[in-house]
């Protein structure tokens, strides 16, 4: 396994560290509704402070117009929350172009880096200005590593020393467990809305996995490719060929594939829509219904299918888990994965909405690792080189 430069090997006393974190958290009415990404960076921040370094934290938040301040996307609420979590004062940097000497044991948070021109363009001018703040670069923004942005990529190359923070290191090492350090049988569970989002991952992992469970909205494009009725369920017409190709490839490689045999379905896409169960495999799925969750027969088959797996990757819910009537498939599959984990299997959960789904169904503490990365994890598992990783290794 390729190792990232570890913070444990850095000499930190009296140094100033620029730490790119991912504090892009959901905020409603000034309140942070999910602080996992902030908590994820605490070990790195505390380690730096305890080692006698001064710390400058930098993140983006939301999608303000590039280079334009927008109070809606200020990191000020994050600063307040961080002070509570760290139990210490966190200084505030309003203007990254006016550097000052951050002292050992001090921690500062910079305003949303996307308020300043050049961040999303990987601009060298901005990176040069940011480099003035520090002696070394620490990358702890796993959720942003797939973006070639100035504070993620260009800056890492500008500073003379660069290290992976503990979050990035943990994410990287856990990703290796489903990429290169696999224990067979290897089960991949994919779901969620879009086939197109998951194709690169499927293509990369298909040769390595032993079992593939496809559920959620994306499964209907696969069923359609097999000429099974799906009514008004989600369908990506332009991906039907790709789905057919994946299934043919899986067969050629003798991989086990489980697709839904039935669905919990409704005639409209709403939380309270009356739900009924129909089968796909016997051709009786009605035209006016749409599948919003995997059905009981599929859940039963999934229980068997999951049992005995030693490595498990779960990406994507089995249905519209946000609505209770269509949550059972995600709930059960998550519980089956948790049960395997309890018997010693390794399980990684993440990408897109999956971490949120794991929380809703209550398995957060029962799987081996929950990734904080959405797109970054998907790209890493698709075999792509992430710009933020390449810069770290440069
Ligand atoms: P993704 O980000 O691709 O993992 O997709 C997650 C989203 O897919 C969630 O918001 C789910 O509500 C949605 N989803 C899962 N299954 C279905 C389905 N059968 N029909 C429509 N949306 C679905």
Task: Give the model confidence (pLDDT) of 99-122 as tens digits.
Answer: 999 999 999 999 999 999 999 999
* pLDDT value of position 30: 86
Q: Where are the domains of the chain?
A: 7-167, 178-381
Q: How many Cα atoms are found within 13 Å in the side-chain-facing hemisphere of 19? A: 34
Mutate to test the pocket of ligand 1, among 195, 199, 217 (most ligand atoms within 8 A of CB): 217
- Could you confirm whether 198 is annotated as catalytic? no
Structure confidence at residue 373 (pLDDT): 87
Query: For residue 221, how many other CB atoms are within 10 A of its CB?
Result: 24
pLDDT tens for each residue of the chain, 394 residues long: 789 999 999 999 999 999 999 999 999 988 999 898 999 999 999 999 999 999 999 999 999 998 899 999 999 999 999 999 999 999 999 999 999 999 999 999 999 999 999 999 999 999 999 999 999 999 999 999 999 999 999 999 999 999 999 999 999 999 999 999 999 999 999 999 999 989 999 999 999 999 999 999 999 999 999 999 999 999 999 999 999 999 999 999 999 999 999 999 999 999 999 999 999 999 999 999 999 999 999 999 999 999 999 999 999 999 999 999 999 999 999 999 999 999 999 999 998 789 989 999 999 999 999 998 889 999 999 999 999 999 999 9
Decide which of 3.40.50.1260, 2.60.420.10, 3.30.70.260, 3.40.50.300 is the CATH code for 178-381: 3.40.50.1260
| Biggest CA pair distance of the chain | 71
Residue 351's pLDDT is 83
Pick the CATH number of 7-167 from 3.40.47.10, 2.60.120.10, 3.40.50.1260, 2.60.120.330: 3.40.50.1260
pLDDT at res. 66? 80
pLDDT in tens, 226-243: 999 999 999 999 999 999
**What is the per-residue pLDDT for 353?**
81
C-beta of 217 in contact with ligand 1 (< 6 A): yes
> What is the position in ligand 1's atom list of the atom closest to the CA of 193?
8
**Ligand 1 in reach of 215 Cβ (< 6 A):** no
Residue 391: its pLDDT value, please? 96
Phi, psi dihedral angles at 263 (to 5 degrees): -140, 155
pLDDT of residue 2: 83
Q: How many residues appear in the chain? A: 394
CA 373, CA 142: separation in Å to the nearest integer?
6
Q: Choose the residue to mutate in 214, 216, 331 for probing ligand 1, maximizing ligand atoms within 8 Å of C-beta.
A: 216
β-pair type (186-190, 311-315): parallel
Closest-lying ligand 1 atom to the alpha carbon of residue 357? 9
Cα-Cα end-to-end distance for the chain:
17
2 alpha-carbon distance from chain centroid? 21
> What local confidence, expressed as pLDDT, does residue 374 receive?
87
Neighbours of 174 (CB within 10 A): 21
């Amino acid at each position: 396994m390729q190792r990232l430069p570890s913070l444990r090997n850095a000499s930190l006393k009296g140094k100033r560290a620029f730490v790119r974190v991912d504090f892009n958290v959901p905020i409603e009415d000034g309140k942070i509704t999910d602080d996992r990404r902030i908590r994820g960076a605490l070990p790195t921040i505390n380690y730096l402070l305890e080692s006698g370094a001064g710390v400058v934290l930098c993140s983006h938040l939301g999608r303000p117009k590039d280079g334009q301040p927008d109070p809606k996307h200020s990191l000020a609420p994050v600063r307040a929350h961080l002070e509570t979590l760290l139990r210490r004062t966190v200084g505030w940097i309003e203007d990254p172009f006016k550097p000052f000497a951050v002292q050992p044991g001090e921690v500062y948070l910079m305003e949303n880096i996307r308020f300043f021109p050049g961040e999303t363009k990987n601009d060298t001018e901005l990176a040069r200005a940011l480099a003035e703040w520090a002696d070394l670069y620490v990358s702890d923004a796993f959720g942003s590593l797939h973006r070639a942005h100035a504070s993620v990529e260009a800056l890492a190359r500008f500073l003379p020393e660069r290290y992976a923070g503990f979050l990035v290191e943990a994410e990287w090492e856990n990703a290796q467990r489903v990429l290169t350090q696999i224990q067979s049988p290897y089960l991949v569970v994919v779901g969620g809305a879009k086939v197109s989002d998951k194709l690169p991952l499927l293509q990369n992992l298909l040769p390595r996995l032993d079992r593939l469970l496809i559920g959620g909205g994306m499964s209907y494009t696969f069923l359609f490719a097999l000429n099974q009725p799906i009514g008004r369920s989600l369908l990506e017409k332009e991906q039907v060929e790709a789905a057919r190709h994946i299934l043919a490839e899986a067969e050629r490689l003798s991989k086990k594939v489980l697709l839904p045999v039935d669905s919990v379905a409704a005639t409209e896409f709403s939380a309270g829509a009356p739900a009924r169960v129909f089968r796909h495999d016997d051709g009786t799925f009605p035209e006016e219904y749409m599948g919003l969750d995997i059905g009981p027969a599929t859940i039963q088959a999934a229980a068997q299918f999951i049992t005995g797996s030693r490595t498990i990757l779960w990406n994507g819910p089995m249905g519209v888990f946000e609505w209770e009537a269509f949550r059972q498939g995600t709930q059960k599959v998550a519980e089956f994965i948790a049960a395997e984990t309890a018997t010693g299997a390794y399980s990684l959960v993440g990408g897109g909405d999956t971490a949120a789904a794991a929380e809703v169904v209550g398995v957060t503490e029962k799987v081996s690792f929950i990734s904080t990365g959405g797109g970054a994890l998907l790209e890493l598992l698709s075999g792509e080189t992430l710009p933020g990783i390449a810069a770290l290794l440069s």
